[in-house]
Amino acid sequence: MFKPIDYKNKIIAVVGVSSDPTKYGYKIFRDLVANKYRVYGINPKDGVLFENKIYRNLQELIKSEIKPDLVMLVVKPEVSEQIVEECKELGVKEIWFQPGSESEDAMRKAEAYGIRYTANACFMARSGIW
């Protein structure tokens, strides 16, 4: 059993938020919002979900003067590789690869850029939400 982690006071950007209730990007964002995390959703389609603005990308979030402490990826591995590059450019220091979002290339890049990352673990299970 994992010891729960505490990210309650951290700013979390969830890349891959979805408006489809069957997708993990929806469920994760819903439960983080419900549990009062400081969470911001990222999806190129933007919009509003659970009364929260969804940003088109990390750059848009940072332009609104919100810099995430943690970027959580709920996307395909090839998208994760692009997001790692963005995180490097934006100075993000920590990434969480939700299961299925990781790739060897993305993790190698994060390590080479000095970005701390977690992979092969579900944030929701580790935080004690699920």
List CB contacts of 75: < 8 A, sequence separation 6 or more: 15, 16, 25, 83, 101
pLDDT per residue as tens, the chain (130 positions): 345 567 888 999 999 999 999 999 999 999 999 999 999 999 999 899 999 999 999 999 999 999 999 999 999 999 999 999 999 999 999 999 999 999 999 999 999 999 999 999 999 998 888 8
- DSSP assigned state of 2: P
Cα–Cα separations (whole angstroms), residue 93 to 3, 17, 30, 42: 22, 20, 24, 17
Specify the pTM. 0.94
Spatial separation of the C-alpha atoms in residues 44 and 46, rounded to whole Å = 5
H/E stretch holding 110: helix 104-112
Domains and CATH numbers, the chain: 11-127 (3.40.50.720)
